[in-house]
Structure 1
Amino acid sequence: MITMFKIVRGDITKFRAEAIVNAANKYLEHGGGVAYAIAKAASGDVSEYTRISKEEMRRQLGKDWIEHGEVVVTPPMKLKENGVKYVIHTVGPYCGGVWSKDKEEKLKLAILGALKKADELGVKSIAFPAISAGIYGCPLKEVVRTFKEVVKEFLKVANHVKEVYLVLYSERDYKLALETIGLGDNDESR
């Protein structure tokens, strides 16, 4: 099976993948950053998508919050137009600009939880934002390194997932991510 990890520049709300990952807060309140953008694109009404997300969290997990490594799956609603079948919500660590081994482990759990759920759902392609690198303040270089490490190991054992994308919105972040993993202008890693 050919598997692929690719860093791309774009808008995750318009990206064509069977699943997209939302970098959520632990209460699935989609008030800012990529969480807001995904909720807005999915429903048009962020409050409504937040309500749906919270209902699904209670139904799937039996509680009102998610921990690192746990995920909640919600319907794609309008994102279905892009071929999205699932939105997978996961929570990464809050860094506030400070990186540590603990933050790295929490990020690994968040990424791996989403990958495992996608594989369980039979998803072939999944797109991630740079979890925790936005409003949670984790250094992008560390997020990218961690992401590549987790994805590389996961793809060795995945049953269904064949394509994993890290979707970065800004040109600056995109170039920094490529530089971080030593790809320069080549955006593909197998």
Structure 2
Amino acid sequence: MPLFEIVQGDITRFPAEAIVNAANRYLQHGGGVAYAIAKAAAGDPEEYIRISKEAMREQIGRDWIDHGEVVVTPALRLERYGIRWVIHTVGPYCGGRWDEDKREKLRKAILGALRKADELGVRSIAFPAISAGIYGCPLEEVVRTFREVVEEFGEEARNLEKVYLVIYSKRDYERAVGVMGGSRT
């Protein structure tokens, strides 16, 4: 079973083999962590959007992705930190409301990225708190959902050994650790 750990830091510099981008369904990378990853990976966010959209058409066969679907792009400039892949997934938009439908969409987004990473032979993957930022899902529910999905995925994992939830701000990191009963793992 992969180790699940919450850490504080900048996902664009986190030394995991793959990082996950909390993208919108069109891979526009216009704000939040998606913009930060696009800028760090290519220097020019517009260039990374072009690369992402081309990959989406090749891998998915259309110009949008749904919950649970993923698109993989090379890490480009992020390779200097040991990152090989960026796995793009789309979480639910909550706008401050949380329900079973939102939880299920988030579960699909997390599970899709975990399965793709395992398929790629990745041993470590770092996620942002998908949907907890500009999509407005409650951080506590996002953390609980991550923990549940990683535990369930452990039964099918072949290569994945470490799953990190990378929280940018100290305040949100402390809240996330609080959900885990004060433990990072």
Query: TM-score, normalised on structure 1?
Result: 0.96
Report the more deviating stretch, 30-39 or 149-158: 149-158
1:173 and 2:172 aligned? yes
Partner of 1:112: 111
Q: CA deviation at 1:181?
A: 1.6
Cα distance, 1:94 vs structure 2: 0.1
Distance 1:141 1:3 in 2: 21
Report the residue type matching 1:41 in the other structure.
A
SS at match of 1:122: coil
Aligned pair 1:142/2:144, yes or no?
no
Tell me the residue number matched to 1:71.
Answer: 70
C-alpha distance after superposition, 1:89-140 (max 9, x if no partner): 0000000000010000000000000000000000000000000000000000
- How many residue pairs end up in the alignment? 185
1:38 maps to 37
Name structure 1 gaps, 5 residues minimum.
none
Percent of pairs with identical residues? 69
Q: Deviations over 1:140-171 (max 9, x none)?
A: 00000000000111122200000000000001
Q: Shift of the alpha carbon at 1:68?
A: 0.1
Q: Aligned letter for 2:108?
A: L
Matched, 1:12 2:11: yes
Q: Which residue of 2 aligns with 1:153?
A: 152
Structure 1 outlier segments of 4+, above 4 Å: none
CA contact (8 A) 1:93 1:136 kept: yes
Asked if 1:129 corresponds to 2:121, the answer is: no
Tell me the distance in 2 between the aligned counterparts of 1:82 and 1:180: 29
> Structure 2: where are the runs of 5+ without partners?
none
CA distance in 1, matches of 2:80, 2:152: 31
In 2, Cα distance between equivalents of 1:79 and 1:154: 27
- Partner amino acid, structure 2, of 1:84: I
Post-superposition offset of 1:3: 3.0
1:155 touches 1:162 (CA, 8 Å); kept in 2?
no
CA RMSD of superposed structures (Å): 0.8
Q: Which residue pairs with 1:91 in the alignment?
A: 90
Quote how far apart the aligned CAs of 1:6 are: 0.3
Contact kept, 8 Å, 1:98 with 1:138, in 2: the verdict is yes
C-alpha distance after superposition, 1:161-189 (max 9, x if no partner): 0000000000111010010121x2x32x2
**Alpha-carbon distance in 2 for matches of 1:62, 1:123:** 24
Separation (CA, whole Å) in 2 of partners of 1:156 and 1:125: 16
